[in-house]
Structure 1
């Protein structure tokens, strides 16, 4: 079953770009990992301290394998709040029919 890990984390607005940049290698390696369909960590266009996270995996096994070897982010930016959930995907299709 496919999985989506999605949500938001909050950091100090002046640290947001450094936080995202510190995840560049993790994103690059994650996207190349078997079973990763997508991985993105990006700035929110409305809230200055918000960072949006989306991971899309073919299976829980693929995600677990990645988590076992994933490099630590190269940043020490403090996270003030985390609101991220893992979702099991039962069905997928076009968003607009």
Structure 2
């Protein structure tokens, strides 16, 4: 299992529009085989920050969805980002 997690930063006045433009991507991801969870959400404390959280069953399924990445218009709006992929070896209750 894989987790892709982190944040991206956009101009604060552009954040709502950016997230609205991502709705289709979230719907498509959640409908993709191997996607266990996918969310992009506004950070409650930082006006420019969007939290990224994805959980995938395998590298192949993640790669199949990811394709060429975000649309060029979305990429142009990103001012900074720290998103990483984590490999999960075990799952247990908290």
- Alignment TM-score, normalising by the size of structure 2: 0.90
Gaps spanning 5+ residues in structure 2: where? none
1:1-97 aligned within 5 A:
2-68=1-67, 72=71, 75=74, 78-95=77-94
Q: CA deviation at 1:62?
A: 0.8
> How many equivalent residue pairs?
94
Q: Point out the more displaced range, 19-28 or 75-84.
A: 75-84
CA RMSD of aligned residues (A): 1.9
Asked if the contact 1:22–1:74 (Cα under 8 Å) also holds between the matched residues in 2, the reply is no
**What stretches of structure 1 move > 2 A for 4+ residues in a row?**
68-77
Output the CA distance in 2 between the equivalents of 1:27 and 1:75.
14
Task: Decide whether aligned partners of structure 1 residues 71 and 53 sit closer, same or farther in structure 2, where only a CA change above 3 A counts.
Answer: closer
- Which structure's residues are more often strand, by fraction? 1
Higher relative helix content: 2
Structure 1: give runs of 5+ residues left out of the alignment: none
